[in-house]
Amino acid sequence: MSGTFTASLPTYTWAPATGLNTTTGSSVTASPTSTGTYTVTGTDAIGCTGTATKTVTVGPAISVISVTATPSTVCSGGSSALNAVATTSATGYSVSSITYGLQNMSGATLLVSGATNNNSGIFAGTLDDGSWNPISLGFNFTFDGTSYSSISINTNGYVQFGQNQSSYVSPVALPNASVPNAYAGSPWIDLIYTTSGTVGYKLTGSAGSQKFIIQWAGPVYQGTDNDTAQIILNEGSNNVEVMFAPFTNNVPKTYTLGVENSGGTSGTAAPARNASTASTSAGEGWRFSPAAVNYSWAPSTFLNNASISNPNASNVTATTTYTVTASDAAVSACTATGSVTLTYNSNVTYYQDNDNDTYGNPSVSQTTCTGAPAGYVANNTDCNDNNSAVHPGATEVCNTIDDNCNGQIDEGVQSTFYADADNDSYGNAAATNFGMHCACRICFKQH
């Protein structure tokens, strides 16, 4: 980022020089890479000085990756799903307490049960200290700013992203550069599955909001307690949730419940759960939320919620260009924008043109705003859609049908015929009982 500062005295000196385009003058431009405070010293003509300070906060970079409307064209009163995807360079997680409740694991895939490793092909280590890798998630999950489609599941109550630690490491306080890194602990504790217990996983929910649940249920090493815990990876929000049941005998244990980045330089633990020795008398629920992006859509016309990433536009009656502003949840001045146009088309009724004469059948129609369906036209004046020679404007011929769809048959093309009893091709003017016809169908001879 950059900013321009201005002061009003004869001479000025700015410090520190870091990020400044100059250190003298009443106006300077600062482009620092990290938050810092600048001091300006002003000196008047007789040598008197004064100082002032200005702090420049450098927030994370925000990028709007995509802005879409599905569908991008709607008919009158139609709806469209808007969606914006933005990223922030901010890292780290916040932790909050949530309602405890173990997820239903019916139908889960069991990696180990009854001391039997059910998936040894991707396993390393032992059922005391080992891991299965890779385990496909079924969706992309962003952890610490990186997207993953699979994880490693360790017997000791934690999962890893892009890394795989299969040997035993005692729980340590995070952050810690020592392995394991890029992990979430449910908690990370010394468990053993050589005699009993289960480790399993399950994918639930609908695309876009799926949950990948991993459960450990087994005995704690060198103890009489059992531990049951779950890690829940949430598609879309990329939240990591932990459900931690009470130890069966409530004997204090040392464990770490939290998340840590890939380098072990940043980590977030639940309160009093960071390599702490503690007991659990009640179930615990924790949510670890990544650095967040806020969204604001303008205009809000037709939208159900202008402050989320994926609002719905409904009952649309006009073409609208929406601009979404993404901002860092912690430093709101750091923003990026993107836009998408939702096109509105009025409804038009089209009529079936079965005989392809460009004139439609008024009795068979479809209404749409996306153009004429195949075999349909906007005209509805055909009186016989099974005969391409019959339509408004057609030449009327003497054939006993209404060729030009004006409601009359053979108008202007009929002739009056007279009886020619003597067959000399000259008719009797008084004998016109045949009327108007296209041809003389019956000629009576006089008696």
In angstroms, rounded to a whole number, what is the distance separating the alpha carbons of residues 83 and 24? 47
Instruction: Please report which confidence band the pLDDT of residue 440 belongs to, taking 50, 70 and 90 as the band edges.
Output: very low
Instruction: Please report which confidence band the pLDDT of residue 444 belongs to, taking 50, 70 and 90 as the band edges.
Output: very low
In angstroms, rounded to a whole number, what is the distance separating the alpha carbons of residues 377 and 367? 11
Q: Is the model's pLDDT at 402 over the cut of 70? A: yes
Q: Is the model's pLDDT at 301 over the cut of 80? A: yes
Mean residue pLDDT of the chain comes to 89
Which of 33-47, 106-120, 426-440 is predicted least confidently? Answer: 426-440
**More confidently predicted of 160 and 46:** 160
Mean pLDDT of 393-416: 88
Instruction: Please report which confidence band the pLDDT of residue 441 belongs to, taking 50, 70 and 90 as the band edges.
Output: very low
Q: Measured at the alpha carbon of residue 159, what is the angle toward residues 102 and 259, in degrees to the nearest 5?
A: 85
Residue carrying structure tokens 């809000």: 300
Domain extents for the chain?
Answer: 3-56, 93-290
In angstroms, rounded to a whole number, what is the distance separating the alpha carbons of residues 215 and 183? 15
Report the pLDDT value the prediction gives residue 446, as an integer from 0 to 100: 35
Instruction: Please report which confidence band the pLDDT of residue 8 belongs to, taking 50, 70 and 90 as the band edges.
Output: low
In angstroms, rounded to a whole number, what is the distance separating the alpha carbons of residues 339 and 15? 40
> What is 301-334 written as a DSSP string?
TTBS-TTSSS-EEEEE-S-EEEEEEEEESS-TT-
Report the pLDDT value the prediction gives residue 272, as an integer from 0 to 100: 93
Report the pLDDT value the prediction gives residue 179, as an integer from 0 to 100: 85
Alpha carbon 282 to chain centroid distance?
37
Short-list 98, 116, 97, 191, CA closest to 153: 191
In angstroms, rounded to a whole number, what is the distance separating the alpha carbons of residues 265 and 273? 18
In Å, how far are 171, 417, 430 from 277, measured between CA atoms?
10, 119, 128
Instruction: Please report which confidence band the pLDDT of residue 4 belongs to, taking 50, 70 and 90 as the band edges.
Output: low
Instruction: Please report which confidence band the pLDDT of residue 442 belongs to, taking 50, 70 and 90 as the band edges.
Output: very low
Q: How many CB atoms lie within 10 A of CB 323?
A: 13
Q: Is the model's pLDDT at 322 over the cut of 90? A: yes
In angstroms, rounded to a whole number, what is the distance separating the alpha carbons of residues 258 and 274? 7
In angstroms, rounded to a whole number, what is the distance separating the alpha carbons of residues 189 and 222? 12
In Å, how far are 273, 291, 320, 332 from 95, measured between CA atoms?
12, 11, 39, 20
Each residue of 206-264: pLDDT tens digit? 988 899 999 999 888 766 788 899 999 999 889 999 999 998 888 888 999 999 999 99
Question: 181 φ, ψ to 5°?
Answer: -125, 175
In angstroms, rounded to a whole number, what is the distance separating the alpha carbons of residues 224 and 215? 20
In Å, how far are 25, 39, 58, 111 from 55, measured between CA atoms?
18, 9, 10, 54
